[in-house]
Structure 1
Amino acid sequence: MPERVSVLKCLAVMAVFYLAGPGGAAPLKAETSKAETETQFRTWLDKDLWPDAKAKGISRATFDKAFSGVKLNWKLPDLVPPGTRPTTPKEQVQAEFGSPGKYFNEKTIGHVVAGGRTRAAQHARTLAAIEKQYGVPGAIVLAIWGRESGFGAVKIPYNAFEVLGTKAFMATRKEMFRKELLAALQIVQKNYIDVGSMKSSWAGALGQPQFMPTSFLDHAVDFDGDGKRDIWNSVPDTLASIANYLHLYGWQRGRDWGFEVKVPAGLTCALEGPDQGLKVADWAKMGITRVNGKPFPASELAGEGYLLMPAGRHGPAFIATPNFYVLKSYNMSDLYALFIGHAADRIGNNARGFSQEWGNVGGMYRSDIAAMQKALQAKGYDVGKADGLPGFKTRRSIGDWQAKHGQAATCFPEKSLIGAIK
């Protein structure tokens, strides 16, 4: 599954990074150490990377042009220079876990929705052709475009070979970035774009859809017919590439992504999860209804759906379809996929905001949640990984524990549960 990185997230991370300074590795003791490392980098390019590039059909001329003038970017996060060890903990257990509702900033959603509606009219013919070919609704494509790059307005300023070269040489995930670096070389070798135009985010994601280079090779398409897969400058190529990505990850033509619903008080929230799917008709028989008062579409009733409650009883609930998890393949986050689906509903169907407020829950340390997870594991509950992040397995386990102990099941970690589960 190709790694996805949101530009808006990246810019936020970099803003903090520049203020706080690099934290990924112990600083080198002297400027000469950096100079020595630069020399090691050039040797690594020539002796280590070049043979692999050559084996993949990269010409020496392309290779030399790609790395002409490229130096290590010492401002990137998660760097581990030769001779040092990572200093950033692998698990930030003392980080505060906030309410899922913080993700759904109305200003951000509003920007994506307003921009999407405007561009739905501007690119109506292109979007219709894309939906006909790939089966993905235009509103979904627009929501991703808006979320990833502000419809192409967010600047993508970095030299991709500088970023990927630096990370392949001395990042915490060197092998992954080496693979991406070789893919970037293939992109210019195949003349999809010239070296000078290969701009990326700080994490190496390319163009308006923010594809990693391997994802570009697998999913980018030439939809405007000019012979290039130009996700940097071409709107048709950008939109069609996003749709092709979702299509290849299994988007089911004709199905929605999901529906906001009301879950009866008497129905346990512990039914949540993609491993507890039922026919949408069966969820309806259990008393789950859409918040807008409309019945579930007849075309959805025989299809599988999954209960999704990201904040347990403290926030909106949804019946998600398999297409929700296709959206999640673009960025491995339930909240990201929900943001895209919700924004798309508002772009394409003039839907309103969530009917239920996100509760002001959170403010707990991840270490507290991890301790809760470990206590549940000791009692035989499946919480997934005890990492301080309350995924659906943790949420429903909490709900089951609450019900077993005579409490109202909320299916979400709360401060009152710290120490109570033991």
Structure 2
Amino acid sequence: MALPRAMVSRRIFFGGVGSLAASAALAQGGFDAFLEGVRAEARRAGISAGTLQRALANLRPNQRVIELDRKQPEGFLTWEEYRDRIMLSPTRIQNGQRNYAENRSLLGAIEARYRVSPRVVVAIWGVETNFGGNTGGFGVIEALATLAWEGRRAEYFRKELLAALRVLEGGHIAVARMTGSWAGAMGQCQFMPTNFERMAVDFDGDGRRDIWDSRADALASIAHYFQKSGWREGEPWGRAVLPPPGFALDGADTESARSLRDWARLGFRSEDGSPLPGSELEARLVLPNRTNGQVFLGHHNLRVIRRYNPPVNYGLAVGLLSDRFG
């Protein structure tokens, strides 16, 4: 039975048909045909022949990218392990405090324009790329082309590939410097190309939106993302709390919003045992573990943090890390 081209390509790529040499040749043939379609679509979208030549010439599918895309997460970290070993390690906290202090003037200028807390900007910077030290070593065009061709999420990655070509066409970065994660997340703030188009800014005024090598552009782009996502200036993200005695976490309502004053009336207190503020600021119950451990009240800005990356534990860790700065 004849298989769809995407399925044929996938089997050949992993050496399931014929000799390795023949498989590689057939796989490259399918990839080249895929690239021709990308070229045609890009030309119709106004991308120049020169950009396409620089970006797509001699491109090959990257097997490591496909392996990483298919790899299932191994093991499971509890909230406490994720918080203490990964996100809030002493080294990350110390580096964050140092970077916050060293960039205080720049962060102040960014805050003045976007009205977003510089502490959460630095926390995102630290979590995503270790304060710009680890932005990823994959060629973005190669990675996105591989994933768009391979087929599992072809439509999504083809859209991102075309956006990446538009970024190159705009002269914001050279092909060789356009590096990122295996999934195509780019620069110090790890924007996907479509997010770059919507959210990246030229804060240093050099005519390019350079989230790779311009710290000003990268940090301002994070702030712009938060501004557009609805960050509320001056409001906290949330707080750890102590529930009242006998409160059952399993099955607890995490959707209903109540004022801090109402949470206090229900018997909730700050984690250190002090009373909650008598405020009308609304919060929802947030539970990183459903059976035991820390309990949080999350405000609107926690949901904004999670628009950058949706997992609850990510949002909580970024919030807690931001509290250590400034």
Question: What displacement does 1:99 show?
Answer: 2.4
SS at match of 1:261: strand
Which amino acid in structure 2 is aligned with residue 191 of structure 1? G
- Please state whether the residue corresponding to 1:307 is helix, strand or coil: strand
Residue ranges of structure 2 left out of the alignment (5+ in a row): 1-9
Offset at 1:65? Answer: 1.1
Task: Provide closer, same or farther for how the CA distance between residues 107 and 156 of structure 1 changes in structure 2, counting only shifts above 3 A.
Answer: closer
User: Where in structure 2 are the equivalents of 1:162-173 lying within 5 Å?
Assistant: 162-173=142-153
How far the C-alpha of 1:96 sits from its partner, in A, is 5.4
Q: Is 1:304–2:258 an aligned residue pair?
A: no
Q: Report the counterpart of residue 72 of structure 1 in structure 2.
A: 61
2:237 and 2:295 map into 1 onto residues whose CA distance is: 14
**TM-superposition CA deviations, 1:204-243 (whole Å, max 9, x none):** 1100111111111111111111111111011111111111
> Which residue in the other structure is 2:82 paired with?
103
The one-letter code sitting in structure 2 at the alignment partner of 1:305 is: A
8 Å Cα contact 1:263-1:288 kept in structure 2: yes
Q: Which letter does structure 1 place at the counterpart of 2:231?
A: W
Aligned 8 A contact 2:240 2:294 in 1? yes
Cα distance per residue 1:273-329 (max 9 Å; x no partner): 1x211112211221211123555456xx22220011211351111110011111111
What is the distance in 2 between the residues matched to 1:107 and 1:215? 26
1:313 to 1:265, Cα distance in 2 relative to 1, 3 A: farther
Alpha-carbon distance change, 225 to 312 in structure 1, aligned in 2, over 3 angstroms: same
Residue deviations 1:373-405 (CA, integer Å, cap 9, x gap): xxxxxxxxxxxxxxxxxxxxxxxxxxxxxxxxx
For residues 400-411 of structure 1, the aligned pairs below 5 Å read none
Deviates more, 1:168-177 or 1:153-162: 153-162
Contact 2:129 2:188 in 1 (8 A): yes
Q: In structure 1, how many angstroms separate the alpha carbons of the residues matched to 2:160 and 2:30? A: 20
Matched, 1:63 2:52: yes
Aligned mates of 2:176, 2:86 — CA distance in 1: 34
Shift of 1:26: 5.3
* Pairing of 1:267-416 with structure 2 (within 5 A): 267-269=247-249, 270-273=251-254, 275-293=255-273, 295-297=275-277, 301-348=279-326
- Tell me, what secondary structure is at the counterpart of 1:76? helix
Cα offset, 1:135, TM superposition: 2.0
1:160 corresponds in structure 2 to 140
Q: Percent sequence identity over matched residues? A: 36
Give, in angstroms, the shift of residue 247 of structure 1: 1.3
Match of 2:25 in 1: 35
TM-score normalised by the chain length of structure 2: 0.88
Judge conservation of contact 1:113–1:143 (CA < 8 Å) in 2.
no
Contact 1:66 1:185 in 2 (8 A): yes
1:185 aligns with 2:165: yes
Aligned residue type for 1:287: G
Aligned residues: 312
1:44 aligns with 2:34: yes
- The DSSP-based 3-state class of the residue aligned with 2:66 is coil
SS in 1 for 2:50: helix
Q: Residues 116 and 139 of structure 1 are in contact (CA less than 8 Å); yes or no, is this contact kept in structure 2?
A: no
8 Å contact from structure 2 (residues 268, 276) kept in 1: no
Contact 2:240 2:295 in 1 (8 A): yes
Structure-2 residue corresponding to 1:214: 194
Q: Distance in 2 between matches of 1:60 and 1:282?
A: 62
Report what 1:132 is aligned to: 112
Is the 1:79–1:167 contact (alpha carbons within 8 Å) kept by the matching residues of 2?
no
Aligned pairs (5 A) from 1:235-254: 235-254=215-234
> Is the 2:120–2:318 contact (alpha carbons within 8 Å) kept by the matching residues of 1?
yes
Does structure 2 retain, via aligned residues, the 8 Å contact 1:279–1:305? Answer: yes
* 8 A contact 1:149–1:210 mirrored in 2: yes
The residue type paired with residue 149 of structure 2 is F
1:54 maps to which of 20, 40, 43: 43
Deviation at 1:44, TM superposition (A): 1.7
> Following TM superposition, by how much is the alpha carbon of 1:133 offset from its aligned partner in structure 2, in angstroms?
1.9
| Residue 114, structure 1, aligned to residue 120, structure 2 | no
Q: 1:409 corresponds to which residue?
A: none
- State the partner residue of 1:147: 127
Q: Which amino acid aligns with 1:100?
A: W
Partner secondary structure for residue 105 of structure 1: helix
